[in-house]
Amino acid sequence: MSEPRRMFSICIPAYNRVVHLPVLLDSIYKQSFSNFEIVICEDLSKERPEIAKVVAEYSIRYPGTLRYYENTNNLGYDGNIRNLVNLARGEYCFFMGNDDIMCEGSLAAVSERIKANDNIGFVLKSYAWFDEVPTKINQEVRYFNEEKFLAAGTEAISVCFRRSGVISGFIIHRDTADGAATSEFDGTLYYQMHIVGVVLAKMNAITMPKVLVLCRNSEPPDFGNSASEKGIYTPGTYTPAARINMISGVIRIATALEKQSDLPVTAPIMRDYANYFYPYIRDQLKLPFSDYYKLYRAYGRIGFNKYPMFHAYFIICYCFGANGFDRLTAYIRKTLGRSPHFGSVK
């Protein structure tokens, strides 16, 4: 007789950063809610032996709760996300970045809200950024102050698509997401947006005002090692070309979703990006003005030229700089208790 299906598969794409793995695992095992498994896929990093050793220690301490896989080839970010969904056995995948922390009570809170609503395919999290120690919170990112129900289709996709970009706390219905498996978008670093779009074309979403995860702010990006990422990304940084590739990938995913689902989602998704464009230029604000202007022109050619907020971000952010604009957004979020709402998001 097979054992009952678990509520959550905690999916961890592992690549280096072994120093943070015990803290992450401890934060999961400290949860009051125990109906979960942990699935780790190591993607052929140089720290594989150290990661395997940590996993072995936790497997002994918590028998039967952790499954560990070592990829034969480096699948890259998108491929490893897809691999984890495929290997998961829980009803929902709850993703965690390999250097982040799950907040106390997160699994219980999410489980309660899923059970209280019908046909939930995705949970839109709130989260926080921190430096080095969990008590040093930089910013909380809360999209809504209250729990909201978002109907399947254009409404849910328009609200959740862009806001699913941070992988920690990405919670999605496993079977529907696995049914959308494709390598078409490998190298975009946004495979999760493909599956959230496909899932929300059929299923509803809910929002969680509770901060579910803490995201470490100090680790540089580690993309550019897999076959799908080489020549596009440079480990340790985001080049202007990389940013352009990522946003172009987003539009490609949205366009494919609209064609597949026959839902008018591309325009609202692009407008939503234009209204919140800061994250896609933040790490480029130290460019010489000539290079920054080239980036501005390149984004404009993708289709953002028609949105006034896009132009405003490029001007205001360059004047303020990253630190100045970060302080401004932190003040606004703290004052409102959530991120500001532009356009149709309410």
> In sequence order, which ranges of the chain are alpha helices (DSSP H)?
21-29, 48-61, 76-87, 106-115, 154-160, 174-178, 191-200, 240-261, 266-275, 289-302, 308-336
- The yes-or-no verdict on residue 345 having pLDDT over 90 is no
The per-residue pLDDT for 331 is 81
CB atoms within 10 A of CB 175: 13
Read off the pLDDT of each residue in 13-25 and give the average, rounded to a whole number.
97
Where residue 49 falls among pLDDT bands split at 50, 70, 90? very high
Beta bridge partners of 8: 36, 92
Express each pLDDT in 288-316 by its tens digit: 999 999 999 999 999 999 999 999 999 99
The per-residue pLDDT for 1 is 55
Read off the pLDDT of each residue in 251-268 and give the average, rounded to a whole number.
97
The per-residue pLDDT for 344 is 54
The per-residue pLDDT for 332 is 79
The per-residue pLDDT for 280 is 95
The model's pTM is 0.94
Cα gap 39→139, rounded to integer Å? 29
Asked which of 52-66, 127-141, 269-283 is least confident by mean pLDDT, the reply is 127-141
